[in-house]
Amino acid sequence: HTISLGVARGIEYLHNGCSMKILHFDIKPHNILLDENFNPKVSDFGLARLCPADNSIVSLTAVRGTIGYMAPELFYRNVGTISYKADVYSFGMLLMEMASRRKNLNALAEQSSQIYFPFWVYDQLQDGREITIENDTNQETKLAKKMMIVALWCIQTKPDDRPPMDKVLEMLEEKNGDLEMPNKPYLYAQDQTAEDAIDDDSTSSSWSSNVH
């Protein structure tokens, strides 16, 4: 949980702490380095883009990032415009793996419902079932649950539905009360092929939700 907070603070600084927004576009485990005190550092800015602080929408000529952590709007234009919310999505995928200690995609899962782990997590939490992680204490299990709910917010398919990183930090630091569950995310632009999606236009608006 401490490491996830550090990563979130790092990304939030990139988005809001400089005169220009820095969009990383490749948040993944290999790009998070730990120092001798296990403080995380966001690294590898080879795919990063700068944009004005008051306008975070960018135009890309090619898809960038790592499969498994890339936001859907990088593939499907009808999902939403490309902005800092792509980093929020990537952080959510990373956060889910940190909380569960397993990869999000497992093609060898015994049950089809567990092939894409975030779907299984959502169904478990929505049905009020406990998600147990081996060797975790009760407090660690509660923290993992909170991290998973925050991750589900971050990996909402439409960028508009994802919180900005300052809100993500606020949710991760929340001490009291349960977080509100988001809608169930889906993997791709529903009912459209990639070719159709690329031909569509879309607009973006700010995220708003009552998260307690």
Catalytic positions are 26
Give dist(CA 122, CA 89) in Å, integer: 16
Helical H segments across the chain, by residue range: 2-16, 85-100, 117-126, 138-154, 165-173, 194-199
Residue 20 CA from chain centroid, whole number: 22
DSSP state of 189: -
End-to-end Cα, the chain, rounded Å = 19
R_g of the chain computed on alpha carbons:
17
